[in-house]
Amino acid sequence: MASCSSSARVSFTDNKTIAHRGAWKMDTLPQNSIASLRKAIELKAAGAEFDVRMTKDDVLVINHDPLYAEDTIERKTYQELSKHKLKNGEKLPTLEDYLKAGSKRNSSTRLIVEVKPSIVDKTQGIRAAEKALALVEKLGVENRVVYISFDYAILKRIHALDPKAITQYLTGDKTPAELKADGISGADYHISVYRKNPEWIGQLKKDGMILNAWTVNAAEDMDWLLDQGFDFITTDQPELLLERVKIREKTPAGK
C-alpha cells in the first residue's frame, strides 16, 4: 500500500503475532532494523514492535538499549550516532524512517511503537512521546500505530493528547480496573504476570480491553496464551507462533 494517509483502508491480519523488534532471529537480521521490519511485514505478522529513544538533538531513533555503539543515545546527536552503522550496513533508523517504511506495501502489519523511558530525565520520555505522536499525525499513519511503554506517565500523556490512540502498558503493576480508569486500551504484560493473576485475563476481556503478552518464545507458552484467548502475543519467534496459530485454525474445536 503506497499511501501513508490515515484515511487509507488497512485490513490488518488477525494472526495474533507481534514480531518483537521485528522479525530478525531466523535470518539473523539486526534487531530494530528496517530489514527486520520488512521481514515482519513479509510474514504478514499482526504487528511489528520497535523501540523509540530520543537523541540529544531531539531526533527519535529506533534502538532498544539506552546505549548505541557504546554511546548514551540521549547524550549524543543523531549525526554523532549515525556514523556507526548496523551490522547489515543500515544507518541507525529514525522513527520517521520506520513509519514511512512500515506504511509502504503493508496492508497487514500494525506498527507497535514502544516509547522507552528516559535514563536522563523523566520529562525527556514524555517529550519523546509527544514528538512521536506529532510525527505519527504529520505522516497520517494514526490508524496503523499502537503505543506501548513501561512508563505509565508516557501512556497517560499520549491518551491525554489523543484519546483515540491505542495504548498498552508493559510493566504489569496496574490492575485492569486501574488501566480502564486511566483510559489505557489494554495490558501487554509478561506472561508470568498473567499466570500469577489469571483473574485479570477475564476482567480485561469483560471490559473489552486488549490482551497482549511478552516476550513469549516457547511453544507451550504460546499454546497456553492461545487457549486463554489472547488478542496478541509478542515473540522473538514469529514464524513459530504463526505455525501454532495455523495449526489451531485447522484443528476442530475441542480436539
Q: Are 154 and 122 in contact (CB under 8 A)?
A: no
pLDDT 10s per residue in the chain (255 long)?
233 333 344 679 999 999 999 999 999 999 999 999 999 999 999 999 999 999 999 999 999 999 999 999 999 999 999 999 999 999 999 999 999 999 999 999 999 999 999 999 999 999 999 999 999 999 999 999 999 999 999 999 999 999 999 999 999 999 999 999 999 999 999 999 999 999 999 999 999 999 999 999 999 999 999 999 999 999 999 999 999 999 998 886 545
Q: Angle formed by the axes of helices 152-161 and 122-139, to 10°?
A: 40
Residue at 11 is within a domain: no
Please count the structural domains in the chain. Answer: 1
**For residue 135, what is the domain's CATH number?**
3.20.20.190
Task: Find the radius of gyration of the CA atoms of the chain.
Answer: 18
The range of the structural domain enclosing residue 207 comes to 17-248
Residue at 253 is within a domain: no
The pTM is what? 0.95
Predicted confidence at residue 250, as pLDDT, reads 86
Predicted confidence at residue 5, as pLDDT, reads 37
Residue at 215 is within a domain: yes
| CA distances to 125, 167, 206 from 155, in Å | 10, 6, 22
72 φ, ψ (degrees, to nearest 5): -75, 120
Residues 6+ positions from 250 with CB-CB distance below 8 Å = none
Residue at 171 is within a domain: yes
Residue at 66 is within a domain: yes
Predicted confidence at residue 251, as pLDDT, reads 80
Residue at 119 is within a domain: yes
Residue at 12 is within a domain: no
Predicted confidence at residue 2, as pLDDT, reads 30
